[in-house]
Amino acid sequence: MTTIETTLDEIASRLLQADRVLFITGAGVSADSGLPTYRGVSGLYNGEHTEDGLAIEDALSGEVFARRPDITWKYLAQIEETCRGAQPNAAHLAIAELERYLSRVTVFTQNVDGLHRQAGSSEVIEIHGNLQKLVCTGCDFSESVDDLSGHQLPPLCPACGSVLRPRIVLFGEALPEAAMDHFLAALDEGFDMVFTIGTSGVFPYIAEPVAWAAQSGIPTVEINPLQTRLSPLVDYHLPLGAARAMTAIMTRLRAARA
């Protein structure tokens, strides 16, 4: 019977032979930084509806933002406040450290918390954007903010008075073309190993690259305390939190390289 320790040994051995690695990350990679996963264990929005009587997916949709930006901003501000002051955890730092050993480490993340960049990863594709970048809905004004404390909600553009929005993808909106082009180009160039960390894989653009890698014989690893729709597809499933798993993998990798 395969144990977690054996699985960790095998993953580290595979990683030792790799040169180009892709990490696909979701909210679970930031759980050890104190951030909720929004659904599932310790989720911020586990209830069926928000206090405004809307599902969180509707409250954070482009359609509701167009009609009632105050509602959307109410929940964006809650998420931003939850993220405020968070620091990269051992998983973020381990992924960044791998750049010392590998020729390419690409991070494709659903997260809008900016922690991968803060940890030092150089190639981060933030497919859902970043909460700290605000853009005007009426003109070309944009700004970067450390946090939203002190901002009126919804924030208004100092140039034209229109509502500002974060440069993130709201539910029902198209993914950013430039970010997807970057990701597809990276996939075309190829990877030796693919990790998925802390994501349920419900979106096709998350699940399909993992399925493609598995079908192509590329070693695939899922790090998630829960079973997901990706679990049957991957070579290795680690039922651990991101920080614990990546710490254990890196300990083995450093020892092997010493």
What pLDDT, on a 0 to 100 scale, did the predictor assign at position 80? Answer: 81
Judge whether 66 and 60 are in contact, CB under 8 Å.
no
What pLDDT, on a 0 to 100 scale, did the predictor assign at position 73? Answer: 93
Domain that holds residue 142: 56-84+134-168
Q: What's 27's domain CATH number? A: 3.40.50.1220
Whether 46 is covered by a domain: the verdict is no
pLDDT tens by residue, 36-52: 665 433 344 445 566 77
Quote the number of domains for the chain: 2
Secondary structure in 3-state letters for the chain:
CCCHHHHHHHHHHHHHHCCEEEEEECHHHHHHHCCCCCCCCCCCCCCCCCCCCCCHHHHCEHHHHHHCHHHHHHHHHHHHHHHCCCCCCHHHHHHHHHHHCCCEEEEEECCCCCHHHHHCCCCEEECCEEEEEEEECCCCCEEECCCCCCCCCCCECCCCCCEEEEEECCECCCCCHHHHHHHHHHHHHCCCEEEEECCCCCCHHHHHHHHHHHHCCCCEEEECCCCCCCCCCCCEEECCCHHHHHHHHHHHHHHHHC
Q: Name 223's bridge partners.
A: 197, 238
Whether 72 is covered by a domain: the verdict is yes
Average pLDDT, integer, range 10-18: 96
What pLDDT, on a 0 to 100 scale, did the predictor assign at position 84? Answer: 77
Q: CA 121 to CA 107: how far, in whole Å?
A: 8
Judge whether 126 and 167 are in contact, CB under 8 Å.
no
Q: What's 159's domain CATH number? A: 3.30.1600.10
**54: confidence class by pLDDT, cuts 50, 70, 90:** confident
pLDDT tens by residue, 112-163: 888 999 999 999 999 998 888 899 999 999 998 877 777 788 999 999 999 9
Measured from the Cβ of residue 20, the count of other Cβ atoms closer than 10 Å reads 15
Judge whether 226 and 242 are in contact, CB under 8 Å.
no
**178: confidence class by pLDDT, cuts 50, 70, 90:** very high
Domain co-membership, 150 together with 250? no
**Catalytic residue list:** 128
**225: confidence class by pLDDT, cuts 50, 70, 90:** very high
Domain co-membership, 120 together with 107? yes
Lowest mean pLDDT among 74-83, 134-143, 202-211: 74-83
